[in-house]
């Protein structure tokens, strides 16, 4: 069973235990003695089951259980034990016909166990990892406060009925005054602990984490404004000039439907930027009328930091009437894309994106096909108003492809959620992932491909003498069709795609040498992804968090140029998080402890699904301050975003229309 399923099962068992402890308390109050005894036994048993589920989760990683092991379960174990010791004997006696079973103490102790069970689950949902002393103090105080209040409410009720005779006696009165004294003292302790916990939560957090490396800056400061791209192409290369004007426009989809879009040059996707290796790409971005601002981020392309398009970090957002020129050498071959990085959760979805494809200079690919012979389609996958569209800029979803022709499909997921891709009707090879070639990709067929948000897959095959269908999300009516000749039937073999197994990229292709040693890292950062209450852009929110915090309160990760840097990315939440580091590709080492055994897998976006733990590594060779975030863009907007900062690099762009002021990302 996957860790994600164990997380869900543990939540279910926790909910059940809460319900049973409360039911035990209520049946005790109602003096349904037999029922109360049965429910109490059930509550204890389910609590023991919970110990098992938590133990199994602990085996998957400490991150998944820390607050349960250190706070939730001990609290429930303590309160539950007291409840069993106080209420149990009375209930057993009542069952044998002696006494009425539910004393005030018994009721209070059982209900306190219920509060403890509830508090444990609330802490998991609202705070999660890491557990802090502040959280523990506040939680325990609240449970104790609940116990004290319950004692005040329940005790007189119980006494009025069961112990009516005793209360009037002098020793009864002494007991009451002793209880009052204990109540006030307990109340004072609880308020003090809660106050201390609350105070601790306001302590300023670290602003930088060093990942075990040096934190002291010995370097002369470099401004991001000076980390700009090369001014000229490589020998033999040319300058590829573009002007992209961001403006609102009405755009017609392939289906014929018209939508209100935000566009580059009035088109969605924006102009296709293509270049040959060694060319210089120069793009002037203008903003006509997109309020707030726009930028261009070259997704997956390791440009110099000043060209990266991260507002408030590498530049100011380009407001209406303003412009900005990006310039960088096309020295990475492959399939990439560009998009706005300002309020990108809205802008990209509305159409501010386009494709960037760089081909080898000599026209020959590693796979031996001549570039000129290929049917070469660049295909962003984008969802408009709930409809998934797979089409190039011509909007066509039907393409001719002569039998025997080498075909390359460049799939780009421009959405915030993953897509499942099936290529039906031909075997194929996945020759590149995120623009980087796979070593000796084997031929596959009848497999599903999991394309993360922001990710790219290059698929290559020889066109058969029959139609080929590209099916997205198992929707047989959508997607793309290639036809060998005009009178070929429309239908490829597209039935039953949902049952095809998923191709595991960690076992695809053949191992090869990597350019640096990956066993020892100079710095190691762990990012635990979850949901929880956190400050996001200065406001409290039910955020998507990294290590319990939201943007911009997540500490910067500090690296030094040349460092080997390792990330452990852990997903405690129930949603998929496509993790994306700017300015670098990362090498996948393992998923859930299982090492990558196929081709070296270099990616800029990797999907961390619920319960998964990924280990990746990269060498810090591109100085700057780089966004490091979830590429589910609404998640990033709701806090799941931080910065990787090279020692000595500074930014002058932290002011208005920066990241904090405008949620730019």
Q: Which residues bind Cu ion (CB under 5 A)?
A: 577, 630, 632, 635
- The tokens for 143 are 């449970």
Nearer of residues 21 and 614 to Cu ion, judged by Cβ? 614
The minimum distance between CB 452 and Cu ion, in angstroms, equals: 11
The minimum distance between CB 571 and Cu ion, in angstroms, equals: 9
The minimum distance between CB 344 and Cu ion, in angstroms, equals: 13
Nearer of residues 137 and 616 to Cu ion, judged by Cβ? 616
The minimum distance between CB 577 and Cu ion, in angstroms, equals: 3
Q: Which DSSP state fits 125?
A: H
Strand ranges inside 371-415, DSSP E: 375-384, 387-390, 398-400, 406-413
Evaluate whether 29 touches 106 at the Cβ level (below 8 Å).
no
Nearer of residues 369 and 635 to Cu ion, judged by Cβ? 635
Dihedral angle over CA of 124, 128, 129, 131, nearest 10: -80
The minimum distance between CB 86 and Cu ion, in angstroms, equals: 46
Q: How far apart are CA 564 and CA 560, in angstroms?
A: 9
Nearer of residues 29 and 630 to Cu ion, judged by Cβ? 630
The minimum distance between CB 635 and Cu ion, in angstroms, equals: 3
Q: Tell me whether residue 331 is exposed, middle or buried, using C-beta atoms within 10 angstroms of its C-beta: 0 to 12, 13 to 18, 19 or more.
A: middle
The minimum distance between CB 388 and Cu ion, in angstroms, equals: 20
Paired strand residues for 559: 646
Nearer of residues 350 and 609 to Cu ion, judged by Cβ? 609
Nearer of residues 359 and 577 to Cu ion, judged by Cβ? 577
SS3 529: strand
Q: Tell me whether residue 33 is exposed, middle or buried, using C-beta atoms within 10 angstroms of its C-beta: 0 to 12, 13 to 18, 19 or more.
A: buried
The minimum distance between CB 573 and Cu ion, in angstroms, equals: 8
- The tokens for 168 are 């009037």
Q: How far apart are CA 454 and CA 524, in angstroms?
A: 25
Nearer of residues 7 and 430 to Cu ion, judged by Cβ? 7
Q: How far apart are CA 496 and CA 474, in angstroms?
A: 8
The minimum distance between CB 418 and Cu ion, in angstroms, equals: 11
Query: In which residue are the tokens 């290796």 written?
Result: 277
SS3 138: helix
Distance of CA 358 to the CA centre of its chain: 29
Strand ranges inside 72-230, DSSP E: 208-209, 222-223
Paired strand residues for 384: 387
The three state secondary structure string of 9-30 is HHHHHHHHHHHHHHHHHHHHHC
Nearer of residues 92 and 574 to Cu ion, judged by Cβ? 574
Nearer of residues 470 and 569 to Cu ion, judged by Cβ? 569
SS3 556: strand
The minimum distance between CB 630 and Cu ion, in angstroms, equals: 3
Strand 375-384 vs strand 406-413: parallel, antiparallel, or unpaired? parallel
Evaluate whether 300 touches 435 at the Cβ level (below 8 Å).
yes
Nearer of residues 323 and 575 to Cu ion, judged by Cβ? 575
């Amino acid at each position: 069973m996957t860790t994600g399923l164990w997380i869900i099962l543990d939540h279910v068992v926790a909910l059940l235990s809460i319900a049973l402890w409360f039911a035990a308390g209520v049946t005790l109050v109602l003096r349904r003695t037999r029922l109360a005894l049965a429910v109490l036994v059930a509550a204890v048993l389910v609590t023991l089951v919970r110990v098992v589920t938590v133990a199994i989760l602990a085996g998957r990683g400490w991150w998944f259980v820390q607050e349960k092991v250190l706070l939730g379960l001990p609290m429930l174990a303590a309160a539950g034990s007291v409840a069993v010791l106080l209420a149990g004997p009375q209930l057993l006696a009542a069952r044998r016909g002696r006494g009425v079973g539910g004393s005030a103490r018994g009721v209070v102790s059982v209900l306190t166990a219920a509060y403890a069970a509830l508090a444990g689950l609330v802490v998991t949902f609202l705070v999660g990892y890491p557990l802090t002393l502040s959280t523990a103090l506040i939680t325990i105080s609240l449970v104790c406060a609940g116990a004290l209040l319950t004692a005040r409410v329940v005790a007189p009720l119980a006494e009025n009925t069961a112990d009516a005779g005793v209360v009037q006696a002098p020793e009864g009165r002494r007991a009451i005054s002793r209880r009052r004294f204990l109540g006030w003292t307990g109340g004072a302790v609880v308020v003090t602990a809660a106050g201390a916990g609350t105070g601790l939560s306001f302590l300023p957090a670290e602003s930088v984490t060093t990942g075990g490396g040096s934190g002291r800056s010995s370097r002369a400061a470099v401004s991001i404004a000076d980390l700009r791209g090369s001014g000229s192409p490589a020998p033999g290369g040319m300058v590829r000039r573009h002007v992209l004007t961001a403006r609102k426009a009405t755009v017609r989809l392939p289906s014929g439907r018209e939508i209100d879009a935000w566009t580059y040059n009035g088109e969605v996707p924006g102009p296709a930027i293509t270049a040959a290796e060694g060319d210089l790409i120069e793009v002037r971005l203008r903003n006509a009328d997109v309020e707030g601002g726009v930028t261009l981020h070259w997704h997956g392309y390791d440009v110099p930091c000043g060209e990266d398009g991260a507002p408030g970090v590498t530049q100011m957002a380009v407001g209406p009437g303003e412009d900005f020129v990006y310039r960088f050498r096309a020295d990475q071959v492959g399939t990439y894309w560009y998009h706005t990085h300002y309020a990108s959760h809205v802008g990209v979805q509305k159409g501010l994106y386009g494709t960037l494809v760089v081909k080898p200079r000599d026209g020959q690919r590693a796979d031996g096909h001549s570039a000129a012979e290929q049917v070469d389609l660049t295909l962003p996958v984008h969802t408009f108003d709930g409809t998934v569209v797979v089409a190039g800029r011509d909007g066509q979803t039907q393409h001719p492809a002569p039998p025997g022709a080498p075909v390359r499909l460049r799939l780009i997921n421009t959405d915030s959620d993953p897509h499942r891709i099936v290529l039906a009707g031909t075997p194929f090879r996945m020759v590149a992932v995120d623009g980087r070639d796979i070593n000796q990709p084997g031929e596959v067929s009848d497999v599903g491909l999991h394309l993360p948000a922001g990710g790219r897959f290059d698929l290559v095959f020889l066109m058969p003498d029959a139609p080929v269908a590209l099916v997205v999300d198992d929707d047989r009516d959508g997607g793309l069709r290639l036809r060998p000749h005009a009178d070929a039937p429309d239908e490829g073999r597209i039935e039953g795609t949902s049952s095809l197994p998923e191709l595991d990229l960690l076992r695809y292709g053949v191992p090869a040498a990597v350019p640096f040693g990956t066993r020892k890292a100079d710095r190691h950062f762990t990012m635990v992804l979850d949901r929880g209450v956190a400050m996001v852009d200065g406001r409290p929110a039910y955020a998507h968090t990294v290590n319990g915090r939201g943007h911009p309160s997540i500490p910067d990760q500090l690296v030094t140029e040349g460092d080997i840097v390792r990330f452990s990315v852990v997903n405690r939440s129930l949603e998929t998080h496509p993790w994306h580091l700017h300015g670098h590709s990362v090498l996948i080492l393992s998923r859930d402890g299982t090492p990558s055994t196929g081709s070296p897998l270099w990616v800029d976006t990797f999907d961390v699904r619920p319960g998964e733990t990924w280990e990746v590594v990269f060498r810090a060779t591109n100085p700057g301050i780089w966004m490091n975030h979830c590429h589910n863009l609404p998640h990033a907007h709701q806090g799941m975003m931080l910065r990787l900062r090279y020692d000595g690099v500074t930014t002058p762009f932290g002011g208005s229309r920066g990241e904090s002021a405008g949620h730019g990302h």
